[in-house]
A and B are shown apart, each in its own frame.
Chain A
Amino acid sequence: MLPAIELQNLSKRYRIRQSAQGKFGSDLGDEIGHWLRSLAKGRLPKDQYKDFWGLRDISLTIQPGESVGLVGRNGAGKSTLLKTLSRIVRPTSGEAILRGRIGSLLEVGTGFHQDLSGRENIFLSGAILGMSRAEVRAKFDEIVEFANVGAFVDTPVKRYSSGMYMRLAFAVAAHLETEILLVDEVLAVGDAQFQRKCLGKMDAVSKNGRTVVFVSHNMSSVASLCKRGVVLDRGGVDFDGSVELATQRYLQLAGAAADERVWSPEEAPAGENVRLLAIRVISDGETASAVDIGRAIHVEIEYEVLRDGVNAGVSIHLLDAGAGVILASGNSPSAILGEDPIGTAPHAKGVYVSRCTLPPDFLNDKQYLVSAFLVTDVSRIEVNVPEAISFLGHDSGSMRGEFTGDWWGQVRPRLAWKTRLVQLAD
């Protein structure tokens, strides 16, 4: 079978006008000022174009039915690539071959018009996204139901709440049935529940044998939708492989090193009394970027105390790549399990390692980030390294005897349950 998408040395150049001072002249006022200044100096103003390669030599092959997550920092070329594949912008050189009907969802509500009713917008947006009238009509009820706008379908969408608007807009897009689907961050809308619904829909799409290219900043949604991940950096392909490794690579590029970060004494983030030397995630006795959530997971923080008698403490934030801080924990005596006699006593000058243990069956199978803090005298934060490391919780199945679907929530603790019979029916 021929690949669904084939890219050969695809490049896209943008020409940015740069004024002679090396400043980007985008504003008309700037431009005029620049002209006047140059003329005052008795010479003609010089304009030059600066080339910027939005994409450079991208070659990729995507098979039918594959779902590929496209990740990268801002400006890495993700959107440019998606727009090129969608035929919105034309490449400067190279070629892309796409086999099958192409649908692209680069925003929510493409073609929606404020003055038209929900019903009219469904037909309008559907047509603009590439659906035939018959197709829209066939899916109309399904779309209205998915969006949950029932009674308001004949109301102009300008009277919708923003939530309703988003739901309707996404519902139209979600019912686009093309062989190739190019999706950009559209899931980053609506409340958590609707996002979940959208993810479920997208998941169903990719399981349907269609080819999906998905761009997102939200690592957990990329990880849940895609098996393959491509990391773009400065317009080129930086990594192409499993989505877990791609996520790691992305976090590394984005400044959150994978499973361990070690600083040399000169570079180490330091305060007046303490210095952070390293932070790592340990599972099964070794540093690991993918950890089994069925076992205990340790976060180790290595730090140096620079003066005798410092009242130093360590704390961490655990974050979900998409949802923010899940929990905070520090080694103050009343807030820990058991005891930490060395960590909680005044420190002598020297190097210490503090280890925080997350219990088995506590995390969910998703990407987590850890921020590290060194504190003195309980509340003075001397060192603060946000999102210092990251790791992927993976599910080896200890809680999967029965339910095998996606598990909701940022964490998945094993909790006690007990049921008692109140009364038997006659």
Chain B
Amino acid sequence: MSSSGAIREVRIGAADPPVLQSLVDLWAARGLFSVLVWRQINIRYAQTFFGMVWMLLQPGMTGLLYWLVFGVFVKVPTQGVPYPLFVLSGIVIWTVFSQGMERGSASLIQDERLITKVYFPRLLLPLSATVSVLADFVVSLVILAPICMALGLAGVGLLWIPVALVPTLLMAGGMGMLFSSLNIRFRDLRQIAPFLVQAWIWATPVAYPLEVVPAPWVGPLLANPMSAPVLLFRHALTGSALPPLWSVWTSLIGSVVIFLFGAWVFRRVEKDFADYI
């Protein structure tokens, strides 16, 4: 309901609306944003009997496999942290990125009926899909954090969690916007996103500690903007070593750049969505 008495004027032309106008529209649609996030979560889990279980199954299974390979077979050193907690802390924050990116990428094609039948800021679709992974994250955290605290591994370090979460979400959102919009024109890209995620996880210290990495590779590895969030989050839960400050800054700046780039590409192709989808 429009609160002011002034009549809203909408101008529709061939040119893109000014950025400021788009931001105002986006802000005005925040109510719809939360409804879309709620829908994502609800459809995914609430309707199935084992809703919560499913939420944990995927990271749990991945953790189990890594534990078997790296914890039991290879026996990587983990600074005294039990390997299952070591790997789960990495996987939980990594899942925010990988799932956030995948859901964001698939969002536009999934909701093509909405795109061809009603107007709202299109950006809400990939962004709400990405943000919906926070539900999984919170559930995992609520289970992991007390265990780590009980073992005396986690304490005030938990305050690092937001610093790990912000760049992770920005990156997932940026990649989601990028791939979702390109997917519309080039459907083949849909195959590329999961592959990229698969490759990326090995370039990030999720399953292995930094100590096993040969010295010349440590620098490039820490320049990967997903490395600092993983190390920060692991520090928060298990008290493992903090990443160097420069790598945290790289992650923050890199994630903002990726987010803005995704938004820029999205905006460039947004006007043709309904024509091509």
A291 to chain B, nearest CB (A): 40
- Does any Cβ of A come within 8 Å of B14's Cβ? yes
9 contacts between A and B (CB under 8 A): A94-B14, A95-B12, A98-B12, A99-B9, A100-B8, A110-B113, A110-B114, A113-B43, A123-B35
Nearest opposing residue in chain A for B39, CB measure: A124
**Within 8 Å CB of A179, what residues of B?**
7
Instruction: For A235, list chain B residues within 8 Å (CB).
Output: none
Residue of B nearest to A7 (CB): B12
Residues in B31-47 with C-beta less than 8 Å from chain A: 31-32, 35-36, 39, 42-43, 47
Tell me if A96 is interfacial: C-beta within 8 Å of chain B: yes
Task: Please tell me if the beta carbons of A90 and B9 are within 8 angstroms of each other in the complex.
Answer: no
B271–A90 CB distance below 8 A: yes
Q: Give Cα A127–Cα B35 distance, bound, in whole angstroms.
A: 7
Contact flags B19-39 to A (C-beta < 8 A → 1, else 0)? 000000000000110011001
Among A35-43, A81-89, A412-420, which stretch is in contact with chain B?
Answer: A81-89
Q: Is B2 an interface residue (CB 8 A)?
A: yes
How many residue pairs between the two chains, A and B, have CB atoms under 8 Å in the bound complex?
A: 96
Given contacts A87-B12, A98-B12, A116-B39, 15 further A-B contacts (CB under 8 A): A2-B7, A89-B274, A90-B12, A90-B271, A93-B14, A95-B11, A98-B10, A102-B10, A111-B114, A120-B42, A124-B39, A127-B31, A127-B35, A129-B118, A133-B31
- Check: A216 CB closer than 8 A to any chain B CB: no
Select the residue from B116, B272, B275 with max chain A CB neighbours within 10 A.
B275
A14-B275, A113-B43 known; A128 vs B31 contact (CB < 8 Å): no
Question: Is the CB–CB distance between B35 and A99 below 8 Å?
Answer: no
Known: A88-B118, A104-B119. A99 touches B39 (CB 8 A): no
* A115 at interface, CB cutoff 8 A: yes
* A115 engages B43 (CB within 8 Å): yes
Q: How far is the CA of A40 from the CA of B263 in the complex (A)?
A: 44
Interface range for A: 35 or more
Interface of chain A residues 92 through 151 with chain B (CB within 8 A): 92-102, 104, 106-107, 110-111, 113, 115-116, 120, 123-124, 127-130, 132-135
Taken residue by residue from 182 to 203, chain B's Cβ proximity to chain A (1 for < 8 Å, 0 otherwise) reads as: 0000000000000000000000
Q: How far is the CA of A59 from the CA of B8 in the complex (A)?
A: 21
Q: Using Cβ atoms and an 8 Å threshold, which residues of chain B touch A135?
A: 1
Tell yes or no: A91 within 8 A of B by CB: yes
Chain B positions 123 through 138: 1 when the CB is less than 8 Å from some CB of chain A, otherwise 0 = 0000000000000000
Instruction: Pick the most buried of A2, A98, A113, A128: most chain B CB atoms within 10 A of its CB.
Output: A128
Contact B274 A83 (CB under 8 A): yes
In the complex, A87 Cα to B9 Cα: how many Å? 13
B42 touches A128 (CB 8 A): no
Given A111-B114, A128-B120, A132-B31: A91 and B13 interface contact (C-beta under 8 Å): yes
A89 touches B9 (CB 8 A): no
Tell me how far the C-beta of A383 lies from the nearest C-beta in chain B, rounded to whole angstroms: 44
B117 at the interface (CB under 8 A from A): yes
Q: Given the complex of chains A and B, what is the CA–CA distance between A104 and B274 in angstroms? A: 15
Q: Tell me if A156 is interfacial: C-beta within 8 Å of chain B.
A: yes
Q: How long is the Cα–Cα vector from A85 to B13 in the complex, in angstroms?
A: 10
Once bound together, how far apart are the Cα atoms of A111 and B114, in whole Å? 6
The answer to the question of B221 belonging to the interface, with a C-beta cut-off of 8 Å to chain A, is: no
Contact partner of A116 among B12, B36, B42, B118, CB < 8 A?
B42
**A124 to B275 CA separation, bound complex (whole angstroms):** 25
Minimum Cβ distance to chain A for residue B205 (Å): 38
Q: Assess whether A84 is in contact with B117, with CB atoms less than 8 Å apart.
A: no
The distance from the CB of B16 to the nearest CB of chain A, in whole angstroms, is 9
Residues on A close to B: CB < 8 A? 2, 14, 83-102, 104, 106-107, 110-111, 113, 115-116, 120, 123-124, 127-130, 132-135, 156, 179
Q: Give the shortest distance, in Å, between A169 (CB) and chain B (any CB).
A: 12
A111 touches B7 (CB 8 A): no
B residues in contact with A90, CB < 8 Å: 12, 14, 271-272
The answer on a CB contact under 8 Å between B117 and A110 is yes
Distance (Å) between the CB of A217 and the closest chain B CB? 18
Contact with B118, one of A93, A97, A111, A120 (Cβ below 8 angstroms): A111
CB distance from B274 to the nearest CB of A (A): 5
Query: A100-B8, A116-B39 are contacts. A91–B14 as well, Cβ < 8 Å?
Result: yes
Which residue of chain B is the closest to A91 with respect to CB atoms?
B14
Contact for B12 among A84, A110, A134, CB less than 8 A: A84
Q: CB < 8 Å: which of B12, B39, B42, B120 contacts A96?
A: B12
Q: Report the bound CA distance from A1 to B120 in whole Å.
A: 28
- The answer on a CB contact under 8 Å between B11 and A96 is yes
- B76 contacts chain A at the CB level, 8 A cutoff: no
Residues in A with CB closer than 8 Å to B2 are 101
Contact between A87 and B10 (Cβ–Cβ < 8 Å)? yes
Q: Measured between alpha carbons, how far is A106 from B119 in the docked complex, in Å?
A: 10
Choose among B14, B114, B115, B119 the residue that contacts A92 (Cβ–Cβ < 8 A): B14
Measured between beta carbons, the chain A residues less than 8 angstroms from B35 are 123-124, 127-128, 133
- Of B8, B13, B119, B120, the residue contacting A95 (CB under 8 A) is B13
A128 and B12 within 8 A (CB): no
Contact B14 A128 (CB under 8 A): no
- Are A86 and B31 also in contact (CB < 8 A) when A91-B13, A98-B12, A115-B47 are? no
CB atoms of A87 and B119 under 8 A apart: yes
Question: Does A130 lie within 8 Å of B8, measured CB to CB?
Answer: no
CB distance from B110 to the nearest CB of A (A): 11
With A111-B114, A113-B39, A128-B120 given, is the CB distance from A89 to B32 under 8 Å? no
